[in-house]
Structure 1
Amino acid sequence: MVKILFSLTTHYFIVEDGGERSVCVTFGCFFFVKAMVILIVTESYLEFGLESGFSNFSESAMQFLEKQGLESRGPVSKLTFKLFLAVLCSLIGAFLTFPGLRLAQMHLDALNLATEKITQTLLHINFLAPLLMVLLWVKPITKDYIMNPPLGKESVPLMSEDTFDTMRLWIIILLCALRLAMMRSHLQAYLNLAQKCMDQMKKEAGRISTIDLQKMVARVFYYLCVIALQYVAPLVMVLHTTLLLKTLGNYSWGIYPESNSDTAVENNPLPSSLYSESPSVDGKMKVTVVQITMALGSLKNIFTPLLFRGLLSFLTWWIAACLFSTSLFGLFYHQYLTVA
């Protein structure tokens, strides 16, 4: 989906007359500064686990290099790691600029078309879904309040930390399912732009040919595929990072997480037959396979679940934050700055 968003964004840079290129560059710079500010916030406010994950990664990498007979202070410094992460965040923010702006316009049109209170409530929840995802990692608002709720003098936690992590994953999945369920309403709201354009043309003076009118209506329907991609792509990105967070972070879908007992490969002794004085060809192949397996086991000790938890939690939070920021700006733009 990142590749699809990249392909859609490149078309905005090809167009010479429009201002889409300037919008993408402006939001990219804005999200770069925002990412640098977020990365210096302490873990007591935003609980990603990036600091502990990077420290564990550096220590494991240094131990691995020392076993290989190499002296190193670490594969990469913390400043370089955060700078690279900020550049990645700025690219993600630039790719999600126009999906967020388009979502705001479709949200306003869908609210005007909705007649039932339930549908309007679901549309509001769907629009605020990225904000709810963002608040899940704000420690003073969610985790501290749930783990230590103000219930008098005694603090009785409502759930364990593992249960809270599982609940956070389930909330993201449910919010993504809601956004997928409201996709039809948003696409229908976009298709109604053709009728709005025709009503606007009726108020204008002058004549227009039938062919030009057909082209204008067809242009709306042809662009529907792009609108659907802009609506679905951020949803798939959030789902992808969430599922990766569950798998690589060793989380569980259940309320009571299962205990993972991973056995290191280096603890398993090699068969004595592999160390014969005159090994055969099959023996050499087995030795090579075992050496490769041990190398993969060493890499597994470097890229630990603690690192993946911090990195994927931050990326999931960042995608939701970018989508909400751009959609909030689009809501303000389409409601107050555009000429009716």
Structure 2
Amino acid sequence: MAVLGVQLVVTLFTATLMHRLAPHCSFARWLLCSGSLFRYKHPSEEELRALAGKQRPRGRRERWPNIPGDEKPLLVPRDAPFQLETCPLTPVDALVLCFFLEYQWFVDFAVYAGGVYLFTEAYFYLLGPREANIAVFWCLLAVAFSIKVFVTVTRMYFSVQGGERAVCCTFAFLFLLLAMLVQVVQDDVLELGLGPGLASGTRNLEPLLKQQGWDWMLPVATLTIRVGLAVVGSVLGAFLTFPGLRLAQTHRDALTMAENRPLLQFFLHTSFLSPLFVLWLWTKPIARDFLCQAPSGTSPLGLLSDSAFDSLRLWVLVALCLLRLAVTRPHLQAYLCLAKARVEQLRKEAGHVEAREIQQRVVRVYCYVAVVSLQYLTPLILTLNCTLLLKWLGCYSWGLGPAPPLLVAPSSAGAGLGEDEAQRAAAGIAAALRGLATPLLLRGVLAFLIWWTAACQLVSSLFGLYFHQHLAVC
């Protein structure tokens, strides 16, 4: 009866609502195509031809030459005084964007997953935890779809012959080394909780493995988990490389566009430095120890309890994600204005250029805006859903009520005598998984993913600031 409870009804209703309302009401489409963003339109061929001082071909032979090679491209002076017109970004214009449908579906799914999570939190707060939380499944799907989006976007850089592939591989190797170094940091400095989590998992696995004579697998399992986390960190760092570089560029341009709006500049700076705040939250000497045991004279002053600090950390993570979401449009508008910057850079050069190249410089920026939106929002959605999973699977509390107790997996009992070999093997595997996936281990893994995502964003965005400030042309 728990499976056919209120949560399943809400899930089915949400899925139906998402399917029915997508063509009519979409948060992703509103965020991108509500009319507050404007794009630049490329100059027409007639306008460029007039600036080049050439007449439009009139004869039939001139317009349709028999030999394709006879048609000469239209050359325009690079410093031609043409103007780029602007127009609002509308839903009709967005239909031709690359990955727009993927962007719309992914962002809308994340919004509905957040709605289901809010409902289940209110449901369990009022009635108490009586059954499994189905919102965990929604959050896991959102995390899986985030990884899928990362793979899809990163695949574009590997499908072309250029330096992007080398950049991804270089950062992947760098982040692999950093991920291995992070895991050897003591919990007194970086309280990710991987050590206590692995100890809890191996403690529950030890009776089962000794019963089967496989106690030698305990250190192998621990090493496998640590190596797996390092590999995941390397791949995630490669995924976040170009989003970080793009964020640095849009951050600089957004600050320039908001030079007369100090409040918006403050929000932009805070949003850009939000990964640094995330790193601070798990640095024990300057976060937990400072707030829970603040030095005050001869005796330490406890401003917060440990449980209150855990709740505060969850709230800060959610607030930082919402802040980054709030400044999405200034970043996207800064990217769309890159078309004008590229044309201005073209005018500083000497000689002539094909009219088609001028048009392509403007159109490419507009056609790529959905991909830039995915690069901006996917790390945000990944961090937010990992935070929600950390709250529930790690047995934390929002501070509005008591935190649920840490459940200890019961030791696996021996299989019944009447069971066959397959049933005993299945029962043994299930017991091993239950014993390994303890709340302490889930705390450590999810905290590592959140902290590592912020670290990768900070490293790549700071490198992007240096690159766009000193190395990039435009």
TM-score, shorter chain, exceeding 0.5: yes
Select 2:254's aligned residue among 89, 105, 110.
110
Which residue matches 1:235? 380
Which residue matches 2:308? 163
Return the letter of the residue paired with 1:46: L
Is 1:174 the equivalent of 2:319?
Answer: yes
Structure 1 residue 263: Cα displacement: 9.2
1: distance between equivalents of 2:437 and 2:406?
17
Which residue matches 1:321? 455
Which residue matches 1:244? 389
Q: Is the 8 A contact 1:110 1:185 kept in 2?
A: yes
Q: How do 1:68-147 residues align onto structure 2 when only pairs under 5 Å count?
A: 69-75=212-218, 76-114=220-258, 115-147=260-292
Q: How do 1:184-333 residues align onto structure 2 when only pairs under 5 Å count?
A: 184-260=329-405, 299-333=433-467
Where do 5+ consecutive residues of structure 1 fail to align? 268-274, 278-283
Q: Is the 8 A contact 1:163 1:256 kept in 2?
A: no
2: distance between equivalents of 1:261 and 1:312?
16
Q: Is the 8 A contact 1:163 1:255 kept in 2?
A: no
2: distance between equivalents of 1:132 and 1:142?
10
Is 1:27 the equivalent of 2:161?
Answer: no
Structure 1 residue 77: Cα displacement: 4.1
Structure 1 residue 71: Cα displacement: 3.5
**Change in CA separation of 1:139 and 1:298 when aligned onto 2, cut-off 3 Å:** same
Return the letter of the residue paired with 2:214: E
Q: Secondary structure at the match of 2:284?
A: coil
Q: Is the 8 A contact 1:60 1:302 kept in 2?
A: yes
Structure 1 residue 261: Cα displacement: 7.8
2: distance between equivalents of 1:197 and 1:21?
24
Query: Which has the larger helix fraction?
Result: 1
Is 1:151 the equivalent of 2:290?
Answer: no
1: distance between equivalents of 2:436 and 2:225?
16
**Change in CA separation of 1:73 and 1:56 when aligned onto 2, cut-off 3 Å:** farther
Is 1:7 the equivalent of 2:152?
Answer: yes
1: distance between equivalents of 2:408 and 2:173?
45
* Greater shift in the superposed pair: 177-186 or 83-92: 83-92
1: distance between equivalents of 2:251 and 2:409?
51
Return the letter of the residue paired with 1:126: S
**Change in CA separation of 1:203 and 1:78 when aligned onto 2, cut-off 3 Å:** same
Which residue matches 2:76? none
RMSD: 2.7
Structure 1 residue 297: Cα displacement: 6.7
Q: Secondary structure at the match of 1:140?
A: helix
**Change in CA separation of 1:261 and 1:307 when aligned onto 2, cut-off 3 Å:** closer
Is 1:62 the equivalent of 2:206?
Answer: yes
Return the letter of the residue paired with 2:467: Y
Q: Larger relative CO (CA 8 A, sep 6+): 1 or 2? A: 1
* Aligned-pair identity (%): 44
Q: Is the 8 A contact 1:59 1:74 kept in 2?
A: no
**Change in CA separation of 1:297 and 1:261 when aligned onto 2, cut-off 3 Å:** farther
Q: Is the 8 A contact 2:397 2:404 kept in 1?
A: no
Select 2:197's aligned residue among 42, 48, 53.
53
Structure 1 residue 265: Cα displacement: 7.6
Which residue matches 1:280? none
- The aligned length equals 322
Return the letter of the residue paired with 1:23: V
**Change in CA separation of 1:8 and 1:70 when aligned onto 2, cut-off 3 Å:** same
Q: TM-score, normalised by structure 2?
A: 0.63
Larger Rg: 2
Structure 1 residue 293: Cα displacement: 9.2
2: distance between equivalents of 1:264 and 1:307?
12
Structure 1 residue 259: Cα displacement: 3.8
* Greater shift in the superposed pair: 80-89 or 252-261: 252-261
Where do 5+ consecutive residues of structure 2 fail to align? 1-145
